[in-house]
Amino acid sequence: MAKLFFKYGTVFSAKSLNLIATAHNYETQGKKVLLMIPFMDTRSNGNISTRAGFELKAEMIDTDTNVVDVFIEHLNKKEKIDCVLVDEAQMLSSKHIDQLRDIVVRFNTPVICYGLRVSYTLELFEASKRLFELSDKLEEIKTICWYCASKATHNLKLVEGKPEYKGNPIDIGGLEKYLPVCYNCYVNPPIEKELKGV
């Protein structure tokens, strides 16, 4: 039976790179993947890109998109889909996650979602919460804290070099900066290092 996966991590944990490696593995075996990304991720424009410089075409998922319909549209075009990959899954709604779960069950097709676990305000994203509830398999994509040697578990938001802990959990503006940090460094970030650009 196919499974629903949630591979989660902090910012800079190479989630998109992991997604692209998975897509590459499928493609080299002659298998087809369907890529999906939330429309509100303004960095994308229909492509999944990574800091390593790879790009892949993707279906854009808007608030009122039914992802089951998107999947069926591809099947109707006689496309074979061996796997669905979802980038930035935390930006979807819980309804979208229910639909992805439905794809796995109805079509016996694996769906692998990549995304953040918690926001910089220390809240589970709605979609991430639903993924924790519905996934068959959870996997943490690990990276280390920006400031120390601990594992990063949280995302620190810096605006003009100062930590910000309150606001809209989904904030994709441009000027702020997010760093992967451990909880201790989240609460008490050694900002000096950041300001000096070390």
Q: Which residues are catalytic?
A: 88
Count of CB atoms within 10 A of residue 58's CB? 23
Is residue 36 close enough to count as binding Zn ion by CB under 5 A?
Answer: no
Q: At what angle do helices 94-107 and 126-134 cross, to 10 degrees?
A: 30
> Which is nearer to Zn ion, 33 or 185 (by Cβ)?
185
Evaluate whether 20 touches 118 at the Cβ level (below 8 Å): no
Q: Is residue 170 a known part of a binding site?
A: yes
CB of 155 to Zn ion, least distance (A): 12
> Which is nearer to Zn ion, 19 or 145 (by Cβ)?
145
Question: How many residues make contact with Zn ion (CB under 5 A)?
Answer: 6
CB of 16 to Zn ion, least distance (A): 23
Structure-token match 């998107």, residue found:
70
CA 58 – CA 188 distance, rounded (Å): 39
What 3-state class would DSSP assign to 119? coil
Q: Is residue 173 a known part of a binding site?
A: yes
Structure-token match 């594992």, residue found:
151
1 by Cβ neighbours in 10 Å (0-12 / 13-18 / 19+) ranks as exposed
> Which is nearer to Zn ion, 113 or 156 (by Cβ)?
156
Q: Is residue 191 a known part of a binding site?
A: no
Is residue 120 close enough to count as binding Zn ion by CB under 5 A?
Answer: no
Sheet with 59-61: list strands edge to edge.
59-61, 33-38, 83-86, 111-116, 4-9, 137-140
Is residue 45 close enough to count as binding Zn ion by CB under 5 A?
Answer: no
> Which is nearer to Zn ion, 150 or 168 (by Cβ)?
150
CB of 185 to Zn ion, least distance (A): 3
CA angle at 64 for the pair 87 and 59, rounded to the nearest 5°: 35
Site for Zn ion in 124-183 (CB under 5 A): 145, 147-148, 150, 182
CB of 146 to Zn ion, least distance (A): 7
Residue ranges for the known binding site are 170-173, 178
Residue ranges for the known binding site for substrate are 170-173, 178
Question: By the criterion CB under 5 A, which residues form the site for Zn ion?
Answer: 145, 147-148, 150, 182, 185
